[in-house]
Amino acid sequence: MLSIISAMDENRLIGTGKSLPWNIPEEYQRYLSNVKGHTIIVGRKTFEISGKDLSNDRILILSKSHSGPNYFNNIEDAISAANGEDIFVTGGAEIYKQALAYADALYISVIKGDFEGSVYFPQIDPSIWYVDHHEELAQYNYYIYRRKLIDLIN
């Protein structure tokens, strides 16, 4: 099972390029708790920004410029290295775009409001994804999307 996890504003903004556009500790703690104990696939830029917050044993980093035991130069090899364990893809935008084709579920927090930044989550195509779970909280809406069965058959 491969899940994508992201927080975005109402215009799908996810980042400034150097950080998150907001500071919502409660939402960030929920993210850390969702991914805890799971294998993570993350882009090199996001790892440099926020990798220190993760206590996960297996963090597979995508990079074409760096190498090492935890580095992969394509997403397919990183997925294979997870050996069938559940994976969370934690971004950023470049990695979300590539991981969508492989994802079974999307864990999405939609932060209320409109923020400054330059990095966006790709479109979530309603012909492919349906909302399986929704919670409204004070500062954000929390959704779990799953891939439609019809898309799995095709």
Ligand X SMILES: NC(=O)c1ccc[n+]([C@@H]2O[C@H](COP(=O)([O-])OP(=O)(O)OC[C@H]3O[C@@H](n4cnc5c(N)ncnc54)[C@H](OP(=O)(O)O)[C@@H]3O)[C@@H](O)[C@H]2O)c1
Q: Where are the beta strands (DSSP E) in the chain?
A: 2-9, 13-15, 39-43, 59-62, 71-72, 87-89, 105-111, 119-120, 129-136, 140-147
Residue from 7, 24, 60, 89 touching ligand X (CB under 6 A): that is 7
Q: Output the smallest distance, CB 140 to ligand X, in A.
A: 11
Identify how many contiguous H helices and E strands the chain contains and give both numbers. Answer: 5, 10
Assess 70 for contact with ligand X (CB under 6 A). Answer: no
Residue from 64, 80, 132, 137 touching ligand X (CB under 6 A): that is 64
Q: Which is nearer to ligand X, 114 or 152 (CB)?
A: 114
Residue from 3, 35, 46, 100 touching ligand X (CB under 6 A): that is 46
Assess 119 for contact with ligand X (CB under 6 A). Answer: yes
